[in-house]
A = this chain, B = another copy of it.
Amino acid sequence: MDAAAQAPFIQPIALAKAYRLLNHGPTVLVSAHHDGTDNVMAAAWACPLDFDPPKVTVVLDKATATRALIEGSGAFALQVPTRAQVHLTRGVGGESLADSPDKLVRHGVQLFRMEGQVPPFVAGCAAWLSCRVVPEPHNQQTYDLFIGEVTAAWADTRVFKDGHWTYETADPAWRSLHHVAGGHFYTIGDPVEG
């Protein structure tokens, strides 16, 4: 998706409601920038940690190039990819920048910037959370577990409006992805009230 075409639909989300962007457990894309290098990886192991100020956890293997950028910059973004981006998600999740310097181009990743934010953002996603690392060296070294405080968040109004996902009325191409293993995903399904 073209970043310029999506721009009119990107709306800021109140920080107190940012957890809702991840609460249903989607697989995310993790992006970062440091010292002239951008990268994007996929992560199924990302989760809200607190409401307000919102925090998140994400597991980042030591072998990933994105982790090095995050350690260097102290910042990352999580974004919620869509059914339309399933090949992109699998692609950036299955290759490392260390081995495939052109991986973002080959998988059709278009990046855009947000004013005042260090990480790049992936165009075409349904939502974006910009985070600063809350340094916890023991967690990072022992468990590959990173904590981030969400400092800003946005969503595309075509699939998230007035604080709620609108998967039931949005085009199915907007549905979130939920990875099981080996490139097998499920999309999010239908609403049900508890």
Q: Are B48 and A25 in contact (CB-based, < 8 A)?
A: no
Q: Are B194 and A165 in contact (CB-based, < 8 A)?
A: no
- A8 sits at the interface (CB 8 A): no
- The interface size of chain A toward B, counting residues with CB under 8 Å, comes to 52
- A181 sits at the interface (CB 8 A): yes
Number of copies: 2
Please, which residue of chain B has its CB at the minimum distance from the CB of A163?
A: B181
- Provide the bound-state CA to CA distance between A91 and B193, in Å: 12
Contacts of A46 in B (CB 8 A): 47
Contacts of A188 in B (CB 8 A): 178, 186, 188-189
Q: Give the Cβ gap from A41 to chain B, nearest Cβ, in Å.
A: 14
